[in-house]
Structure 1
Amino acid sequence: MKEVISAKTVWKERRLRTSLSRPARKAAASELFVYGAGLVILFILACALFPKGIAPYAPTQMFADSILQPPSRAHLLGTDYFGRDVFSLVVYGSRDSLFIGVASVLVGGLLGGTIGAVSGYIGGVPDMILMRFIEVLMTIPGILLALAIAAALGPHLFNIVFAVAVSAVPGYARVMRGQILSMKHRPFVTASRSIGASPLRMFWWHVLPNAWSPLLVMATIGLGSAILVGSGLSFLGLGVLKEIPDWGALLSQGRGYLTVAWWIATFPGLAITLFVLSVNLIGDRLRDALDPKKSRA
């Protein structure tokens, strides 16, 4: 009898601890989401859309008497080998980096989602052909595929967007195809078919609205990866050749001065790290919110 009572007591205590820890876990997750969303909004508004409101100098302004100056009151993040303010360069350089990330995610998600949806819903020979094409792309690592496309097309902003987008297409296509396959045999789709709904109507009004949520989470997390790949291409000299360099180009320019001016490469790298971390926090929270199993836990 004592063993039964003790087992029940232990089970109740564990359940109580679990129920008490759930609000704490949800509060911590919500807090991290707020921090991540706040940093992303700050980057987009203050850096990409309204850089003049935060940058103290023009990105092309040179200070001949302050070349390679360390961080100070006059230059918050120091100056580079041309005497340009590093903080202003980081702020203005975010425009191209964020554009590459957002545009490549939109293009890659649209292409990959369309391929996966058509392949999964139609099936048969089109499914086999499209999936063999996706599997060929998947045999090449994403960064190498983007590197090959960017090298073939040349250094241009839209070429970089296309290269990063194509490298992400296989992942979106596979996820979307799996969702479509799991949805098109659900009871509500079968009921719609039984009352005479056309295949296009069933796909547009019943299958697709219930299959896109994992793609949204993947696109959110993929935004950080796209910025990393775009910055990597710029670091290798395949990025945009402009007067105002993006974050990857700033890293490339500062690598030769690490021993004498560490701040040139360090602060663009920190900007990339903070933005990617913020996007990943948002993506993790979206994944938990859209996952019915975790939402019930």
Structure 2
Amino acid sequence: MKDATALKPLWKSERKRPARSWHLGASDLFLYAAELVVLFLIVCAIVPGWVAPYSPTMMDAAQLLQPPSVKHLLGTDYFGRDVFSLIVYGSRDSLLIGLASVIVGGLTGGILGAFSGYIGGWIDQVIMRIIEVLMTIPGILLALAIAAAIGPSLINVVLAIAAGTIPRYARVMRSQVLSVKNRAFVTASRSIGSTGFRIFRKHVLPNSLAPFLVMATIGIGTSILTGSGLSFLGLGVIKEIPDWGTVLAQGRGYLTVAWWICTFPGLAIALFVLAINIIGDRLRDKLDPRKSGA
């Protein structure tokens, strides 16, 4: 008589589930920290009054250029304004610039790239030649030129930054569409009589979005960095409540006597850009079919 264990099905006897590990790796800790940073800054942008201890426009002549302390966590500027409150309230315009410029530039570039790659022919040649001409100009220089030409304002800054990102999004989207539209499942759908628009909507576009979404996620941090650079040069948003780049520009003249005015807004920009890049890298790993199928 055979051993009873030999009669058990293979999936019960030999295939064992790996033990679940609750140990968090360094990459997971970095991801959670990045998510917390982004979440905190989003809360600051939506409800700054809940986070900031003071009004960003409140000036106190008795608290000029005070270093970080219990009363003022990040010190005060040359007007006696609380630097932490300035950073909290300034996050609204900074995040708005990053999101809006990615939406405008990503949609415009994505539509151009998808249309060019799917239609092909002379339309593809014309669009790509225009895109290649724009790509010869660095995005920051193109944004500077446009912002200087149309004047400083929130909408103009968004348009200037978005214009510099359109070529990159168009190239990425076109390359994805070209690689997807010749695959077997697209050919099979065409052979059963599906229309070109249906094939594009059901098959080509959904399978082309993964790298585009990753690029758009990382682009938010890049756009905020560019917007802060424009504000630092005096071409950004001019409002009573300054954004991060404007706070940097206002504090550069006091760097030797009040280092905190420039340091902490700069750290806020660096932390947000780093957090967005970490999230974008993890999103890229999740959407990569070679890694997800392993």
TM over 0.5: yes
RMSD, matched Cα: 1.5
- The residue type equivalent to 1:43 in the other structure is L
The corresponding residue for 1:11 is none
How far 1:32 moved relative to its partner? 2.0
The corresponding residue for 2:178 is 181
SS at match of 2:205: helix
The corresponding residue for 2:141 is 144
Distance in structure 2 (CA, Å) of the matches to 1:30 and 1:172: 29
How far 1:31 moved relative to its partner? 2.7
Deviation track 1:45-93 (CA, whole Å, cap 9, x = no partner) reads 1x10111111010000011101011111111111101111111000000
- The residue type equivalent to 2:29 in the other structure is E
Distance in structure 2 (CA, Å) of the matches to 1:81 and 1:120: 54
Q: TM-score scaled to structure 1, two decimals?
A: 0.90
- The residue type equivalent to 1:217 in the other structure is V
The corresponding residue for 1:35 is 33
Distance in structure 1 (CA, Å) of the matches to 2:25 and 2:72: 38
How far 1:35 moved relative to its partner? 1.5
How far 1:166 moved relative to its partner? 0.8
User: Quick one: structure 1 residues 24 and 129, their matched pair in 2 at CA, closer, same or farther if it must change by over 3 Å?
Assistant: farther
- The residue type equivalent to 1:69 in the other structure is Q
Unaligned runs of 5+ in 2: 1-17
Distance in structure 2 (CA, Å) of the matches to 1:198 and 1:296: 31
Identity over aligned residues, as a percent? Answer: 67
Figure out how many residues of one structure are paired with residues of the other and give that number: 275
The structure carrying a bigger helix percent of its residues is 1
The corresponding residue for 1:12 is none
How far 1:28 moved relative to its partner? 3.2
The corresponding residue for 1:241 is 238
How far 1:194 moved relative to its partner? 0.5
2:160 to 163, 171, 185: 163
The corresponding residue for 2:196 is 199
The corresponding residue for 1:131 is 128
CA contact (8 A) 1:48 1:98 kept: yes
The corresponding residue for 1:8 is none
Deviation track 1:262-292 (CA, whole Å, cap 9, x = no partner) reads 0001000000011001100100000111112
Q: TM-score scaled to structure 2, two decimals?
A: 0.91
Matched, 1:208 2:182: no
- The residue type equivalent to 1:38 in the other structure is L
Distance in structure 1 (CA, Å) of the matches to 2:66 and 2:26: 40
User: Quick one: structure 1 residues 136 and 83, their matched pair in 2 at CA, closer, same or farther if it must change by over 3 Å?
Assistant: same
